[in-house]
């Protein structure tokens, strides 16, 4: 069936404030991860927050030099979660569990674009 495929959700959660930021990139490639990082930095800067460290999973989008270089440009130290230790990234994991229930599966959408717009509205309401 044409048009069926995967959609991706990137999540950033500030540890002390628990303020989340999400993005729906077109893929899980390094370039998308770097763009998300730039968006995250800009979003938190708009809240007068500076990112010092970022904890990512071990996905290929985050492991290679393009993402690492973007972190360095922003003065961010990158750290990785330990394999099979989801509790190390617990706030993001919890957000990832609840977001689909409240947003993606909580309503009926006619298409992916409509679902993406709903996420943007939800993100702007918080």
Cα separation, 103 vs 32, in Å, equals 22
Range of the domain at 17: 10-91+104-120
Residue 118 corresponds to which tokens in the numbers above? 């709903």
CA 101 to chain centre: 17
Q: Where are the alpha helices (DSSP H) in 1-126?
A: 30-46, 60-63, 65-73, 90-99, 112-125
Q: Which CATH number belongs to the domain containing residue 31 in this structure? A: 3.30.420.10
Provide mean pLDDT across the span 67-75.
Answer: 97
Q: What's the confidence (pLDDT) of residue 1?
A: 46
Asked if pLDDT for residue 75 goes beyond 70, the answer is yes
* The model's pTM: 0.74
Q: What's the confidence (pLDDT) of residue 42?
A: 97
Q: Which residues contact 40 (CB under 8 A, 6 or more apart)?
A: 12, 21, 23, 51
The answer as to whether 98 is a domain residue is: no
pLDDT per residue over 24-44, tens digit each?
A: 898 999 999 999 999 999 999
The answer as to whether 126 is a domain residue is: no
Residue 52 corresponds to which tokens in the numbers above? 């010092």
The answer as to whether 14 is a domain residue is: yes
- Domain count along the chain: 1
The answer as to whether 3 is a domain residue is: no
105 or 69: which leads in pLDDT: 69
Residue 104 corresponds to which tokens in the numbers above? 């993606």
125 or 45: which leads in pLDDT: 45
Contact 20, 9 (CB under 8 A): no
The answer as to whether 96 is a domain residue is: no
Q: Which residues contact 116 (CB under 8 A, 6 or more apart)?
A: 24
Provide mean pLDDT across the span 53-67.
Answer: 91
The answer as to whether 62 is a domain residue is: yes
The answer as to whether 50 is a domain residue is: yes
The answer as to whether 35 is a domain residue is: yes
């Amino acid at each position: 069936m044409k048009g069926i495929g995967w959609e991706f959700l990137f999540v950033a959660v500030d540890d002390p404030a628990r303020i989340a930021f999400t993005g729906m990139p077109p893929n899980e490639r390094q370039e998308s991860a770097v763009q998300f990082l730039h968006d995250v930095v800009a979003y938190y800067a708009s809240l007068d927050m500076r990112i010092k460290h970022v904890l990512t999973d071990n996905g290929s989008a985050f492991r290679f030099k393009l993402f690492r270089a973007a972190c360095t440009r922003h003065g961010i130290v990158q750290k990785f979660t330990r394999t099979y230790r989801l509790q190390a990234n617990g706030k993001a994991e919890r957000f990832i569990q609840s977001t689909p229930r409240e947003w993606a599966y909580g309503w009926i959408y006619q298409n992916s674009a409509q679902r993406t717009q709903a996420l943007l509205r939800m993100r702007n309401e918080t």
